[in-house]
Amino acid sequence: MKYRAFGRHQFSVSEIGFGGWAIGGSWGSQSDADSLAALNQAIDLGVNFIDTAAVYGDGRSERLIGGVLRDRAARKRETIIVATKVAPTSGVQPPSPYCRADERYPEALLRESVDGRLANLGTRQIDLLQLHTWTRAWNGDPKPLRVLRELKREGKIGLIGVSAPDHDPNCVIDLMRGGWLDSVQIIYNLFEQEPAAELLAVAKTTGVGVIVRVVFDEGALTGKFTEKTAFPSDDFRARYFEGDRLPRVLTRIEAIRQDLAETRYTLAQAALKFALAHPAVSTVIPGIRNAAQATANCEVCELPDLSPELLVRLRRHNWHKGSWYGGK
């Protein structure tokens, strides 16, 4: 495993982190035994950063992670950073420009949710608390972040972050410049390269940690999907790849494969290496469901970096999908 500075903060994080959404559920059936094996294997291979959220299986992901960390702490000393997220009140997702910050993230909800996260993780302080989503409409008066600052002063949370909405990552740039954030979580992958335009450079100059999510475009960029791939109805990907979305993605994946044909990288390896090629990226958190995926993803750190020539070729696959859910 290799490690990087987490922005301006006084600790390092593993290049490969652990994405904890699927182990909570909503990706079809998932056994806790597989999830526990995945977590233990990842940590054994050097992963020290785990991302989860209140809504991942209504706390199931957090509880699994908390349990693993407690079990391991009884055996040896290791420092694992856990980032979790507090969800806004129910309503339009991501919040619309007409939503009020203090209605979607009221102080009472933030405080209650922080206590819930502490209970699920079985800890006295949340290492990093992220707001699960945001809208630029709140940048002028970011009330929920003032509440999180208070919770930080009270010692309940260590660092403050925002997980940027899928289709407007740049909405957090003003917050980064304003000193509101310790970290941001963004989509940055072979398709979605918009953060390279500005956000990543701002992260570097402001010392904000960058967590990259959805590096595999929900599994597609591992290269294992075909036109025949079908998702069970309880797997959120049945909706994400509905209609003609999967064939459109597969066409683009074929083009990436051609660029990789003469190289030693599989598509999944190139996807991870591409995100890690940007120096502002602190950690990439692929979703991991079993020990084999933990091993395959962690091993990528041992491969040589992508050459500048290959990076230039891969940048041509930039594809800003727009609002995936807004229409086909």
Ligand X SMILES: NC(=O)c1ccc[n+]([C@@H]2O[C@H](COP(=O)([O-])OP(=O)(O)OC[C@H]3O[C@@H](n4cnc5c(N)ncnc54)[C@H](OP(=O)(O)O)[C@@H]3O)[C@@H](O)[C@H]2O)c1
Smallest distance, ligand X to C-beta of residue 282, A? 14
The size of the interface with ligand X (CB under 6 A), counted in residues, is: 28
The mark string for 148-187 relative to ligand X (x by CB under 6 A, - otherwise) is ---------------x---------------------x--
Query: Do residues 161 and 185 make contact, with C-beta atoms less than 8 angstroms apart?
Result: yes
Q: Which stretch binds ligand X (CB under 6 A): 65-73, 218-226, 251-259, 273-281?
A: 218-226
Q: Angle at the Cα of 210 (from 166 to 182), degrees rounded to 5? A: 105
Binders of ligand X in range 228-257 (CB under 6 A): none
Instruction: Give the residue with the Cβ less far from ligand X, 277 or 296.
Output: 296
Give, as one character, the DSSP assignment of residue 287.
B
Q: Which of 27, 49, 138, 265 is in the footprint of ligand X by CB under 6 A?
A: 27
d(CA 64, CA 166): 26
Give, as one character, the DSSP assignment of residue 278.
S
Smallest distance, ligand X to C-beta of residue 167, A? 11
Number of helices (H), then strands (E), belonging to the chain: the values are 12, 10
Smallest distance, ligand X to C-beta of residue 75, A? 25
Give, as one character, the DSSP assignment of residue 166.
T
289 sits near ligand X (criterion: CB under 6 A)? yes
The mark string for 127-146 relative to ligand X (x by CB under 6 A, - otherwise) is -----x--------------
CA 287 vs CA 84, 137, 203, 213: distances in Å: 14, 30, 23, 8
Question: Peptide bond preceding 286: is omega within 30 degrees of 0, i.e. cis?
Answer: no
286 sits near ligand X (criterion: CB under 6 A)? yes
Q: Reduce the DSSP state of residue 227 to 3 states and report it.
A: coil
Smallest distance, ligand X to C-beta of residue 108, A? 22
Q: Which of 13, 16, 22, 121 is in the footprint of ligand X by CB under 6 A?
A: 22
Question: Peptide bond preceding 247: is omega within 30 degrees of 0, i.e. cis?
Answer: no
For 304, other C-beta atoms within 10 Å of its C-beta total: 8
Instruction: Give the residue with the Cβ less far from ligand X, 34 or 306.
Output: 34
Residues lying near ligand X in the complex (CB under 6 A): 19-22, 27, 51, 85, 132, 163, 185, 213-219, 222, 224, 268, 285-289, 293, 296-297
